[in-house]
Amino acid sequence: MKPSALPPDSVAVVTGGASGIGLAAARRFAQMGFSVCIADLGADRLGSAAEQIAAASPHGADRIMTSETDVSRVEELQRLEAAVCARFGSTDILMNNAGIQPGSGIFGPAENWRQVLNVNLWGIINGTQVFVPGMIARGRPGLIVNTGSKQGITTPPGDPAYNVAKAGVKVFTEALQHELRNTPDCRLSAHLLVPGYVFTGLTAHGASEKPAAAWTPEQTVDFMMDRLEEEDFYILCPDNDVPRALDERRIAWAAGDIIENRPPLSRWHPDWKEAFAAFVKAAG
């Protein structure tokens, strides 16, 4: 479903909407005249974000709402869905975007694993299971956008909990789109947003200046909206350092580990370093 084809009275719900990509997306939906609800943690953060979103909306603050919501808790998402229905009557765009990245190790703290899986994976499952059945039943056109990661596709070493969660988001969103397209009279489509290097609070690590290699959240959302207009399912974003061609080679190499029976994560294996470099170079 193209965003431009949605009715002007559409309602967008964005989790993790108080900053980064979520805030940029919420501003864009507001600019389009849609009602917007952002869900996140922190009343001050939500209040500041709501002011920015209202400034972008032709309707001002009248069609903007916020909700303190922990997406890892299904009962809080149920409360959010009821509140959106009470205020705006429905949901037409659901962007499951909330995420954390405290860091992890294979033998690291189990609590970090629980937090990452509960927010980054279960948050998307919870949001989908709470909101989407009602969206289907209303019979209106709509979108579900789930924020994944390249780390969930090429699974680089260094943060296995995050990789596991985002790999799960990819698989879940693929299954969701299959379900939607095989549901009679369903007018919804699901999409997997796969950002590149984006300068946000999650990636800044205390830095205040955007690195030259990174995109801004606004650039990422611009790209997302363009690809949604083309009805892409996989929204694979480049950045200022990595073009799509390089992403494609990295993804193909990762899949080739299985096909060619190479060691797992062979891209980072010293015995395969030269072969990977040659594989990338062969793409020109």
Helices (H) and strands (E) in the chain, counts: 10, 7
pLDDT of residue 210: 80
The catalytic position among 29, 131, 162, 272 is: 162
Q: What's the distance, Cα to Cα, between the start and end of the chain in Å?
A: 34
Residue 284 has pLDDT above 70, yes or no: no
Tens of pLDDT, residue by residue over 28-44, are 999 999 999 999 999 99
Q: Any catalytic annotation for residue 162?
A: yes
Residues in the chain: 284
Point out the least confidently predicted range of 51-60, 62-71, 274-283. 274-283
Residues 6 or more apart from 90 whose CB is under 8 A from it?
11, 84, 134, 135, 138, 140
Residue 280 has pLDDT above 70, yes or no: yes
Share of the chain above pLDDT 70, in %: 97
Structural domains present in the chain:
3-241 (3.40.50.720), 243-284 (no CATH)
d(CA 187, CA 79): 25
| Residues 96 and 135 sit within 8 Å (Cβ to Cβ) | no
Q: Please state whether the predicted TM-score (pTM) of the whole model is above 0.85.
A: yes
Residue 206 has pLDDT above 80, yes or no: no
| Residues 69 and 39 sit within 8 Å (Cβ to Cβ) | yes
Tens of pLDDT, residue by residue over 223-242, are 999 999 999 999 999 999 99
User: Is residue 179 within a helix (H) or strand (E), and if so which, with residue range?
Assistant: helix 160-181
Residues 6 or more apart from 74 whose CB is under 8 A from it?
126, 129, 130
